[in-house]
Structure 1
């Protein structure tokens, strides 16, 4: 009897050890493959210097394919990009489809690939090329709804919300999709398994999650715990709910409020005081290590609200710069680097016009360099400090200092359509980062700033950080 007990105990230990080793092996396998590609697995510290680039595969090129995106990876890298956000790549539902090719956000199969873009091998090559160029890849994930012809609708109708008559129903805003029921534990398990599939089989590094306000917070906590088992992943949530970051479900939230403030200032509806109020509100609502995605455009705004040029006019550049210089992580929506001034079709084929003389490409390249090399503009969990400086005209002029360790930098800008003369409490000799010219400040210095003109001032002997 004793021998049998010992034997059973040993078998149990061996079984548990084997299971543990399998988990460790899978995680170690992912890390090993990434290192072979020339990139280390993602960690939270890497977000400090990150720029995100949103790829709309269908509209990125005339071909509208993964292969076309892969060919441009090296050019995207020149913008200082560290994270590629790929919009939904899954098969699009046909039942109740929107016009044309349909919405990327009406998903028929969470593990499938839209043949319009290519195949699984094509996508793997895209991810591999991004990794070789020091960039991480996050996939767009739509958790709260599926297409009407997703297999779950017939196989598991209880996985969906039902009305009083016991029928599943479309979402309020998207008639081509049907709402999932997050009280169903089996659906949750399958959803997480489908997300894990992309992490394990395609080596993606995280997810941008759509409309997370419409799902339960405890679900996202469960997602992060299970997916990040033995590794770090980057989770970006389309939300401005602090509790989703407080519970460690997401790493970064959206800066929608700042986006609307910038648009209102550009149109003359608000002044710099609105930015001050926004910055003052952050420590009251958010934890010290929370951070946001900052942007002047994205796929929704471009297609439905207008391009940044329509909304911001001559102020496009200064607000792009603001998204890099404030605490946070900046976003470039594909085409912004091309001075692209047209609304992309959402449901049909369209494509960005490439511009070899684009002004904003040079601006974004320079800002990418700033983000990578100057720790005073670290913007994530260990962000550099932000200190508002009082000027002689605080409703028109925004001036602030960013500092981390011994590195400090300044931002001064005229957020009006008029010429301004202003004094700022800065002393010393600094380098204007955008043109490398030296500027001397003292108590008597009066700055003359043109409409929407800005300065980024860095130390002449700045300590540079290694990229990557």
Structure 2
């Protein structure tokens, strides 16, 4: 078998996995505080547990972020992202794009022709270095999107090292089986030489260009042992942050710091459409407890580049529940993601293989993300990672319709209440206390058996006074 694929678990089955210690935890635990070393030319950040506990991650689509579609245009807005509490920039692939068998007029970011260069469409390597330096100067880490499963058909390995690729029965290089990814050629991980070259390229970006880690595309389609050994080597250069575009616990036990909360995202979509309810959300929270260790982090999101372009905008998928689910992505366990344009109330599907542009008009979501970012950054009750805040369900008289839970850590407490239906509801909550509504600033008293009334999709974030 060419690849050792991770087994896909049935979504309905909850099982307990061993509490495997993640590699490099000891090294990262020593960095409880961000180490910032000042030089004449740059600020060097080291990934730390402290960052992982309270970070907001931002997915940067350089091509579509501005009319110019360049590194420089994006770099100008890095101070704006800091306002939103962003601590990690995930930059979609920046490498030259293959033109052979490409899709659309510009091709896919994920059909790479050279892992060691930047796409001239975005600017120069000096422009990219300035982006990294600017991010670091603002206390923001930079991770690059890495595509280890395949290359574009223009990659020099195709002619120089055809043995690096998967071949069909006729001996021809082929795209990844059971996909429509015809614009890319599938890599063969039986090749030790290819593995070594792939690792060297990743090491280059960390050692020479100062990036802080990688978001790894279709990570579950690449053998786990490659990720494990490669991450060990990267961490010898400096501690890195590794995000897997996958959900499997095995990956988080073998080099990755964070995975995708795909099932959480799907539950959000289903609840918004009336296909699921709060009981299903509660089951998902229990499933997370059984599948992952306490220090594992999952990325919460209401959109990303795939969801936006292929499955629809947040408004299309979640309708009037969009704001409530945005807030929930910050308050629930995990790290919240903002995809380019969400902070500007973007309600269009960005073209994937063509030039498109995000319109930057500040609406309700910019202010909302700014407030939520401050809360996530500063309140220990929402922190994750090695010493994650606890999550406790709170009972209500409408447990299938009203989501109520509290997060606690170090004498800090945050409560989330939400009507997860399109109907106005009256309900009681089995809890009491005096709180501050975080978004409105008003004082709120909760008394057991006292009726509360929430309009459709209404939510409140309450802070213990």
TM (norm. structure 2) is: 0.90
Q: Secondary structure at the match of 1:228?
A: helix
Aligned counterpart for 1:98 among listed residues 82, 92, 103 = 103
- Find the counterpart in structure 2 of residue 281 from structure 1: 287
Given that residues 414 and 452 in structure 1 are in contact (C-alpha distance below 8 angstroms), is that contact kept between their aligned partners in structure 2? Answer: yes
Shift of 1:104: 0.3
**Alignment correspondent of 2:345:** 339
For 2:426, the equivalent position in structure 1 comes to 421
**Secondary structure at the counterpart of residue 82 of structure 1:** strand
Partner secondary structure for residue 282 of structure 1: helix
Looking at structure 2, the residues matched to 87 and 175 of structure 1 have their Cα atoms a distance apart, in angstroms, of 20
- Encode CA deviations 1:24-70: one digit per residue, 9 max, x unaligned: xxxxxx97457974564111331110000100000000000000000
Q: Structure 2 unaligned segments of length 5 or more: list them.
A: 1-34
Q: Does 1:308 align with 2:284?
A: no
Deviations 1:199-248 (A, max 9, x none): 1121110000000111101110011101111521100000111111122x
CA distance in 2, matches of 1:182, 1:74: 41
2:210 corresponds in structure 1 to 203
In the TM superposition, residue 316 of structure 1 has moved relative to its aligned partner by 0.4
In 1: Cα distance, 2:433 partner to 2:404 partner: 16
Counting matched residue pairs gives 429
Q: Report the Cα offset of residue 286 of structure 1.
A: 1.5
Distance 1:170 1:68 in 2: 34
Q: Report the CA distance between 1:183 and its aligned residue.
A: 1.3
Identify the range of structure 1 (110-119 vs 416-425) with the bigger mean alpha-carbon deviation: 416-425
Structure number with the higher helix fraction is 1
Q: Is the 8 A contact 2:249 2:292 kept in 1?
A: yes
Structure 1 contact 34–40 (Cα < 8 Å) conserved: no
SS of equivalent to 2:280: helix
Whether 1:351 and 2:357 are equivalent positions in the alignment is yes
Q: CA RMSD in A?
A: 1.4
TM-score (norm 1): 0.89
User: Partners in 1 of 2:233 and 2:182 — Cα distance?
Assistant: 32
| Equivalent in the alignment of 1:14 | none
Q: 1:98 to 1:86 in 2, by over 3 A?
A: same
Return the offset for 1:315: 0.5
Are the structure 2 counterparts of residues 108 and 243 from structure 1 closer, same or farther at C-alpha, using a change threshold of 3 Å?
Answer: same
* 1:238 paired to 2:253: no
8 Å Cα contact 2:54-2:383 kept in structure 1: yes
Larger Rg: 1
In structure 1, stretches of 5+ residues that fail to align are 1-29, 461-468
Q: Sort the Cα spacing of 1:185 and 1:34 in 2 relative to 1 into closer, same or farther, 3 A.
A: farther
Equivalent positions of 1:36-185 (< 5 A) are: 37-38=42-43, 40-171=45-176, 172-185=179-192
Q: Secondary structure at the match of 2:158?
A: helix
Q: Distance in 1 between matches of 2:335 and 2:46?
A: 19
Aligned-partner SS, 2:407: strand
**Which stretches of structure 1, 4 residues or longer, exceed 3 Å deviation after superposition?**
30-40
Say if 2:45 and 2:141, in contact at 8 Å, map to a contact too.
no
Deviation at 1:318, TM superposition (A): 0.4
